[in-house]
Amino acid sequence: MENLKDVKPIEDFNWDAYESGESASSISKEEQEKAYDNTLNKVGDHEVVDGTVIAMNKREVVVNIGYKSDGIIPLSEFRYNPDLKVGDTVEVYIENQEDKKGQLILSHKKARATRSWDRVNAALENEEIIKGYIKCRTKGGMIVDVFGIEAFLPGSQIDVKPIRDYDVFVGKTMEFKVVKINQEFKNVVVSHKALIEAELEQQKKEIISKLEKGQVLEGTVKNITSYGVFIDLGGVDGLIHITDLSWGRVSDPHEVVQLDQKLNVVILDFDDEKKRIALGLKQLTPHPWDSLDPNLKVGDHVKGKVVVMADYGAFVEIAPGVEGLIHVSEMSWSQHLRSAQDFMKVGDEIEAVILTLDRDERKMSLGIKQLKPDPWETIEEKYPVGSKHTAKVRNFTNFGVFVEIEEGVDGLIHISDLSWTKKIKHPSEFTQIGADIDVVVLEIDKENRRLSLGHKQLEENPWDVFETVFTVGSVHEGRIIEMLDKGAVIALPYGVEGFATPKHLVKEDGSQAQLDEKLPFKVIEFNKDAKRIILSHSRIFEDAQKAEEKAEKKAKRAAKKEETPMIQNQAASTTLGDIDALAALKEQLEGKNNK
């Protein structure tokens, strides 16, 4: 207010002329207009000039370009820049210096488009950070308005972490870096991630320089995979392997953690360049073995759940992180080679007996067969020699049949103990695997846990009877049922089989007996112990011939006996005469000698 005292009217001002409407000065009106025009910017239509924002409302922006009137631009042309404020310098395109209403018509959008290509190229060259407005989603990313140009923002370039919801970015204004320009097709690719990475790289260097094994840090779950969980430690990522999530077995990491969850982790290891960081979660809690009931001992019964199956056994979790192995041999008293899957499956709740317990090594072995008594403890009482039972055929060998009377009680029926009469080459001719067979206990081998069993012993030995029927020399009708190199197998009455060598298969006419031929056979050997009957067809007619020849010889001998006395008398008389003559001859000879 004090300054107003110094304000004085112009001394030579012509007040009369002012009142009458005449010019207040000696300068003409035309000259004044010319002088006024000279104070304004020289602008022409379709030019791009810089202007200053002098006012704003929800719909419009008023821009002064130093012209006689201000221009009005819709606010929508500035949506890429939500920070626009009064006083900001903006580029505008002069559509028309004066419309019908005398209004200056400006466009910010066209000004940007006119200069945009040069600006984008400069931004790429200078690695300049620019602003852009995300207009909409497109395949593989987003469309971004940059200087009025539609640029492409790949989904992988939005952020350093995987994006789960792209729609939240639509309508946002963000800072970008131009990473690629195709001049021919006027295509522009921008990245927001590139800006973050540069910032994170600095943070990362700072973080990893301070890393130490055993250090506990807070992190955020960034990604969950089948093999583990990636944790953001604030600019640097680490991995919790699935085995380090929990002391217990984890089949899916989602069971333990969830996305964006904050949790404490411990650094287990990192490589020389500190690029890979191994983290642990379970290591922040005591090992379950350390808190296992100290009174638990061998022989105790425990309950648990089957968590892993293998052919050789099953792993049972009796407490989170505490497992015991039931070997397949501890699942049954049976000695048959079987797979553990025959007894249980993953998820089964079972009871078992502790067989071994090593707290230092954190190992435990369990058994379930021990819940039942060992059948071999009382084998002589339950299966005494001579007792009869029904067993199940389990396996074949060339020498016999392995059977199981009950679980854990096995026995062998030797091939020779299957039948009294049939010649069995392989047990599969007599029975089949899985079939029931009646047996009698012949012998107990407790040490090797095996019984010697018989099947034929359930019936009386028919060879006691056969011994009286198939006596040596007896003749029986038989049929040739099998031809072999060494001879033929002959089916005899009562289901008995005999054997004849080729020379005993020659018929009377000299031909050889053939398969399926029925002929009489003579028993030439009977062996009860070996269950062997040796037969001959040839002997039947050969013995008949021999009998005839014998009879003829006998008749001849009888005839000779009747003629013998006469011959002997003649011989005797001749002999006596000869003796007399010889005696006379002797005397004569002796006389001559004496002379």
CA angle centred on 8, ends 6 and 13, rounded to 5°: 165
pLDDT of residue 234: 75
Closest by CA position to 252, among listed 222, 219, 227: 227
pLDDT of residue 565: 54
Rounded-to-integer distance, Cα 94 and Cα 110, Å: 9
The tally of CA atoms less than 13 A away on the side-chain side of residue 86 is 5
- Confirm if 253 and 264 have CB atoms less than 8 A apart: no
Strands 104-107 and 71-74: parallel
Q: Return the residue matching tokens 């089989």.
A: 497
Q: Which tokens in the block code for residue 502?
A: 């080729």
Q: Which tokens in the block code for residue 83?
A: 């920070």
Q: Which tokens in the block code for residue 230?
A: 């990636």
Closest by CA position to 541, among listed 506, 516, 514: 506
What lies within 8 Å, CB to CB, of 142 at 6+ separation is 134, 135, 136, 152, 153, 155, 158, 166, 169, 170
Q: Which domains does the chain carry?
A: 15-113 (2.40.50.140), 127-196 (2.40.50.140), 210-284 (2.40.50.140), 288-371 (2.40.50.140), 375-458 (2.40.50.140)
With a cut of 50, list the residues of the chain below it in pLDDT. 1-4, 24, 35-40, 567-576, 592-595
Considering the entire predicted model, what is its pTM? 0.41
Q: How many CB atoms lie within 10 A of CB 290?
A: 9
pLDDT of residue 521: 92
Rounded-to-integer distance, Cα 157 and Cα 173, Å: 15
In this structure, which long-range contacts are made by residues 219-223, counting pairs with CB atoms below 8 Å and at least 24 apart in sequence? 219/262, 219/263, 219/264, 219/265, 219/279, 220/260, 220/261, 220/262, 221/257, 221/258, 221/259, 221/260, 221/261, 221/262, 221/263, 222/161, 222/162, 222/259, 223/161, 223/162, 223/259
